[in-house]
Amino acid sequence: MLRITRGEESKLTSWYFEIDRSLLGMILLLIGVGLITMITAGSADAARLGKPWFSYILQGFVPYTIGIFCLFGFSMLDKKQIIKISIVGLIAGICALLFTFVHPIYINRSARWVVLPGFTFMPSDILKPFFIIITAWFLSYMHKIYGSDIFLNREAWRAKLQSWWPYLLVFLICTALIFKHPDVGTAVLYVGVLFVMLFVAGFPWKFMPAMLGVVGILAALAITFMPHIRSRAAHIFDIVPRTQAWYSINSIKHGGLFGSGDEAYVKDVLPESINDFVYASIAEDWGAIGACALLLLLFLVLSKLIQHASSAKDNFVVYSLAGATALFGGQICFNLMTALHLFIDKGMTLPFVSYGGVSFITFCVLFGIVLALIREDTWNS
C-alpha cells in the first residue's frame, strides 16, 4: 500500500499534512449532500418542468467540476497570491456589476444578471469572496498605519488615499448598485458581513445603535419604494395556499421524523425545490432526523471557522475568517428562514447544498481561500 509520509517533501505532501482535513472533509460532505439532493429533488423538479430527469445533472457537471477544482486549487495558494487574485476578482466583479446597468437583463423582475453564451451569473455573487479578502487586507493595512485605533483616529479620516474614504466610497457605490437592481437581501448581507468584520477589528460597541439605524433605514427604503418588498413584508406570516411557502411548510411536515422516501411527493410541486427551498426537500426526503443532522454539520463548519479565527496569529487571517463566518452563517439563516416561512424569499442559496452554478463556485473559492489562510497561519507564522 502506498503511504505518504511527512518526510517526502513536496508541495502536495506539505498541503496534505498542513491542511485542516476535518474542515475540508465537512465541506466535501456538504457538497455530497447537495449532489444527492440534485439527483433526488432535481429529478422531481425536472419532471415538473417537463425536462428529462437527468437535466440538472448535465447542467451542473461543468460548474460543480469548476467549483471543486477551485476549492482544492485555492487551498494551495499563499497569502500574497490570494490578495493579488482578489484584487483582480474584485475589479472584474465591479465591472460586471456596472455592466448590469449599461446592459440590463431582467430575470424575475430583477436586472442583477449578466448573460454570456451558455452562462448566466450575478456579479454580486462573484464579488463575495474577494470583497471579504480585500476588506480584511484593508483593515489590517489600516492597523499597520494608524495602530490599534483605526476608527476614532482623525488621521484615518482625512481626505487622502490612505484613509477610510476610498474604501467606503467603493463599498457604498457597489452596495447601492446591488440595492438598486433590486436585490435587497444581498445588499443587507454585504452590510452585515462588513459590520461583523468592523467589530472584530475593534469598532466601538457604543456605535451599535447607529449601525442598527443604517439597517433600519435600508429596510424602510426597501418597503417604501419597492412594491414587491412591501407586498411580501405585509404578508410575511400569511401562508397562502399553493404558494412556495405553503408547499415548503407542507413538505417539511410530510417528511415526519424519518422521511417519506418514495412517498415524498410534495417537493414534486414545490418551485425552487433544489435552490431556495432545498432544506424543505431534504426534510421531506430524510425527515427531521436528517434535516437536524444537516443543521449540525453546518454548525460544525461555523464552529471550526470561529475556532480558527480565535486562534489566528495574523490580523488579516482573523478578519478574513470573520467575514467568511458572517457570510456563510448569514446565507444559512436567510435560506432556512425562507424555507420555514420566517422571512420573505430573497433567493439565498444554502451554501454547498443548493443547486447552483456561480453560487456554488463562489463558496468553493471562499473556502479554498479559507483553508489556504488557515494552513499558512498555522504552519508558516
Does the pLDDT value for residue 323 go beyond 70?
yes
For 258, residues 6+ apart whose C-beta sits below 8 A from its C-beta are 287, 289
Grid cell at residue 231:
407586498
Lowest model confidence (mean pLDDT) among 90-104, 248-262, 302-316: 248-262
% of the chain beyond a pLDDT of 90: 39
User: How high is the pLDDT of residue 242?
Assistant: 67
116: left (phi over 0), alpha (psi -120 to 50) or beta: beta
What value does the mean pLDDT take over residues 6-12?
A: 66
How does the average pLDDT of the chain come out, rounded? 85
User: How high is the pLDDT of residue 193?
Assistant: 94
Q: Residue 237's pLDDT band (boundaries 50, 70, 90)?
A: low
User: How high is the pLDDT of residue 6?
Assistant: 56
What value does the mean pLDDT take over residues 266-295?
A: 85
Higher pLDDT residue, 28 or 274?
28
% helix, strand, coil for the chain, step of 5: 70, 0, 25
312: left (phi over 0), alpha (psi -120 to 50) or beta: beta
Is 279:307 a contact under the CB 8 Å cutoff? Answer: no
User: How high is the pLDDT of residue 280?
Assistant: 87
User: How high is the pLDDT of residue 2?
Assistant: 46
What value does the mean pLDDT take over residues 112-127?
A: 78
Query: Residue by residue, what is the 3-state secondary structure of 178-197?
Result: HHHCCCHHHHHHHHHHHHHH
Does the pLDDT value for residue 1 go beyond 50?
no
Grid cell at residue 264:
415524498
User: How high is the pLDDT of residue 11?
Assistant: 77
Listed residue (284, 241, 256) closest to 44, CA to CA? 284
What value does the mean pLDDT take over residues 288-306?
A: 95
C-alpha span between 84 and 86 (Å, rounded): 5
Listed residue (303, 309, 15) closest to 136, CA to CA? 309
CA torsion through residues 331, 94, 319, 355, sign = positive
Lowest model confidence (mean pLDDT) among 77-86, 117-126, 278-287: 117-126
Cα atoms in the Cβ-side hemisphere of radius 13 Å centred on 190: 26
At residue 165, what is the residue type? W
User: How high is the pLDDT of residue 142?
Assistant: 93
